[in-house]
Amino acid sequence: MNRLLLILGVLVAVLPLPGAAQDAGVQADVAVSIQQDQQIWAGQQVTINLDLKTNGYSFSNTHFNLPEVSGAFLVQTDTTTVKLNEKINGQTWQVLRYPLALYPQTSGQVKVPPIDVRFTTSEGYGKENKSFEFQTKPLLIPVSLPPGVSEGALLVSTDSFQLDHTWQPQSDTAREGDAFTLTVSRRAKDISAMLLPPLPVFETGGLAAYPQAPEVNDKTERGELTGERTDRIIWVLEKSGAYQIPGIRFQWWDPSSQELKQQVVPGLALDVLASTTKASAAVSSESESGRKLKMLIPVLLAVLIGIILWRLAGKVTREPRKNETTSFSHLKKACENNRAAEAHAAIHAWLAFLWPASDMSSRPPTLNEFARAFGDGQLAVNLEQLQEALVYSKSDWQGGELLSALQDVRRKIIKRKTIQAKTPLAAMNP
């Protein structure tokens, strides 16, 4: 009996570790573990430790593929590794630890599939490297949904959340062609910036919204991750009237206090007046009309008689109404004089005359829709530069390139309209 036990003891001593690989005395292994001893909430960062192990000299050529996790995001937020030692069967093994961040977005059991890992190690300095390939065991992680949160909502769980916002300009009155910018900055601990959701964009007729590319940044200090995201939305006032840009509500779950917290960015109510150019033109026209009327009183009767005689003779001519040609002429003048606000208003006025002649929607388009429909990349760039000149009050805006691009588009549209007009209609009831 004692002899049998001795034989079994020897066999156990020489058996390889579970999941480990060995080759000519060099052994290696991998393991995954969860660095979390409390309840796990949806939206909360869960640290998963991926450990590469060897009794050899060092690690090299390490590589692993992160799998897709259903209902969660698995990312490597930092390339920093932790070097550890571990006693296995009385032998000292080196451990190279890679911290990974898991952000579950659903409740229940979240399954992390196996992770494919490969690396090389050697028995000692100057010895031949040996390659190893492994696949970790799957992980099952229980996740709870915070009370008051709907299943499927993109949730942020953190005990440190900061939000700042600004409206520029800070005013509730504006004129056509003006622009308002909302800037929202968020900073959250233990959250990657990519998990902070984008701002919702409110759009309505006469108010064009232009969301800008976000500024996203992850910072790691002493192993602690902080995600920072800044979003901007520019609203350009295209028509006069009253507008209400709604507020935005942000919510997050604080696992430390077990509270669902929220902060609201207030909206903006705007009374948009007609553009300064239109208003001043109307006032100037009224003043000039009054002065000329006094000068023309002596000849008013003669002119009236002449009009009556002309009508009787059937030779009356009427002043042509404003049309696409005259509206584009005003646009051309604004661009040539480098007046950004006038050019912006004139473009929309021109589109109002032009659009019924096109084969698209009868609704005048936004500038982005117009650029996509008829222009090329250069037109989009020119229109963006015009909007930036309005938003940032740039005085050095030059309208020459925009005018050239618009003239090219106008020629294309007129040519298309001419071809359509020459196309004979099919005979009715042939």
Q: Measure CA 192 to chain center.
A: 16
Q: Which of 367, 375, 369 shows the shortest CA–CA distance to 405?
A: 375
Q: Are 47 and 101 in contact (CB under 8 A)?
A: yes
d(CA 52, CA 374): 57
User: What separation, in Å, do the N-terminal and C-terminal C-alpha atoms of the chain show?
Assistant: 111
Is the domain 161-273 a CATH 2.60.40 member? yes
Fold of 20-143: Immunoglobulin-like (2.60.40)
d(CA 62, CA 132): 10
Q: DSSP readout, 273-311? A: EPPHHHHHHHHHHHHHHHHHHHHHHHHHHHHHHHHHHHH
The 3-state DSSP class for residue 395 equals: coil
d(CA 46, CA 100): 8
**Rg of the chain over all Cα atoms, to the nearest angstrom:** 36
What pLDDT does residue 160 have? 94
Our CA dihedral for 364, 367, 370, 371, rounded to 10 degrees, sits at 180
pTM (predicted TM-score): 0.56
What pLDDT does residue 100 have? 93
d(CA 172, CA 209): 17
- Can you point out the beta strands (E) in 21-128? 21-23, 26-34, 46-54, 59-65, 72-75, 82-88, 91-104, 108-112, 116-122
What pLDDT does residue 291 have? 53
What pLDDT does residue 364 have? 58
What pLDDT does residue 426 have? 40
The residues near 50 (Cβ < 8 Å, ≥ 6 apart) are 30, 31, 32, 64, 97, 98, 99, 100, 115, 117, 136
Which tokens is 11 given? Answer: 């066999």
**Fold match between 20-143 and 161-273?**
yes
What pLDDT does residue 18 have? 43
Q: Which residues of the chain fall below pLDDT 70? A: 1-24, 152-153, 276-322, 341, 345, 354-366, 375-376, 390-395, 417-430
Domain range annotation of the chain:
20-143, 161-273, 277-318, 319-422
What pLDDT does residue 366 have? 66
What pLDDT does residue 221 have? 81
Query: What residues are paired with 246 via a beta bridge?
Result: none
d(CA 102, CA 353): 55
